[in-house]
Amino acid sequence: MAITMKTRITELLGIRYPIIQGGMQWVGRAELAAAVSNAGGLGILTALTQPTPDALAAEIERCRGMTDSPFGVNLTILPTASPPPYEQYLDVVIQSGIKVLETAGQSPKEFIVKAKAAGVKIVHKCTAVRHALSAERNGVDAISIDGFECAGHPGEDDIGGLVLIPAAARQVKIPLVASGGIADGRGMAAALVLGAEGVNMGTRFCATKEAPIHDDIKQALVGASERQTNIIFRTLHNSGRVLKNTISDEVVATERRPGGCEFGDIRHLVAGARGRAALETGDVNSGLVWAGQVVGLIDDIPTCEALIQRMVADCQAQLAVGRSYFL
């Protein structure tokens, strides 16, 4: 019989298992989001992967054609010289009837007010307890707390999940999702024990059959050990964790040069178009490939359904193992 679970996260998001696929630039498309939602988790489309707000509306419709289950949209708001039309993307989320928004980066209060007024639940992803508390005060519905292990931007505090998750759980009152460093039932069990009511995964979902990226990239994730990520942009105070490859090695070397480095020195290496091309062509050394330390825990490329079923069953089994130590 299929396992069912109930936490404040499953209740809030209307999902069967408290497992979320975090927003992922170039990867968070309909194929993956629908597969995760069909498997009982929450799939998330990445708004800025779509070139325009209209294209996001079309992608939402495409995803609806692939699943009847709820799915969400990620809106990542980062400081940039020429920002995309964030509010128009938000308007598309609202007008399309999407019920869950994952925000990351900044989360302007007026966006929160607008989304909530439209009945959208907001899961705000952040990397520090103080940011979680401020988002909670601003009215978000849940917090995803992203530990230093994570792919993407882990912040500048370098606090791993083993401390960050309970530190957040002690203070945050709204439902908490643990993110970063989780790839299997063991990690999920740990997250629940540390005080989270759900988990968010990025890298693990890249190595699934439905992830819309080249198979050679998935194989590179399977082949990598937990030591094979790099932290880039550290000297620019915008740290990012990516797969270790010739490009990210060169970025790190440039940053460590005596005299330091300006963004202009590495711009040609880190261009989003190069990263996208790497994912599409499978040439792992041609651009940045965002990935977390959990690459060391990934050794197959299952369907999302098989992955989620296995995780939930293993999580239950691991919790039972823990209990068995008490006589």
20 sits near ligand FMN (criterion: CB under 6 A): no
Q: Does 239 bind ligand FMN (CB under 6 A)?
A: no
Asked if 292 interacts with ligand FMN (CB under 6 A), we say yes
Q: Out of 18, 53, 84, 181, which residue is the one contacting ligand FMN (CB under 6 A)?
A: 181
- By CB under 6 A, name the one of 132, 176, 201, 207 that touches ligand FMN: 201
Residue with the two structure tokens 């609806």: 64
Q: Is the dihedral of CA 39, 41, 47, 49 positive or negative?
A: negative
Residue nearest to ligand FMN (CB): 202
Helix-then-strand count for the chain, H and E: 14, 10
| Stretch in the footprint of ligand FMN (CB under 6 A) among 6-14, 65-73, 285-293, 316-324 | 285-293
Nearer Cβ to ligand FMN, position 142 or 182? 182
**Strand pairing report for 240-243 and 229-232:** antiparallel
Q: Where are the beta strands (DSSP E) in 236-326?
A: 240-243
Q: Does 72 bind ligand FMN (CB under 6 A)?
A: no
Sheet containing 142-146, strands listed edge to edge, beginning at the edge strand earlier in sequence: 19-21, 198-201, 176-179, 142-146, 121-126, 100-105, 71-77, 43-46
Q: What is the DSSP letter of 261?
A: -
Rule CB under 6 A: is residue 294 a binding residue for ligand FMN?
yes
- Examine residue 206 and tell whether it contacts ligand FMN (CB under 6 A): yes
Size of the site for ligand FMN (CB under 6 A): 29
Identified binder of ligand FMN from the candidate list 40, 53, 202, 240, rule CB under 6 A: 202
| Angstrom distance (rounded) from CA 318 to CA 186 | 6
What is the contact surface with ligand FMN in residues (CB under 6 A)?
Answer: 22-25, 27, 46, 74, 76, 104, 125, 146, 149-152, 179-182, 200-204, 206, 290-292, 294
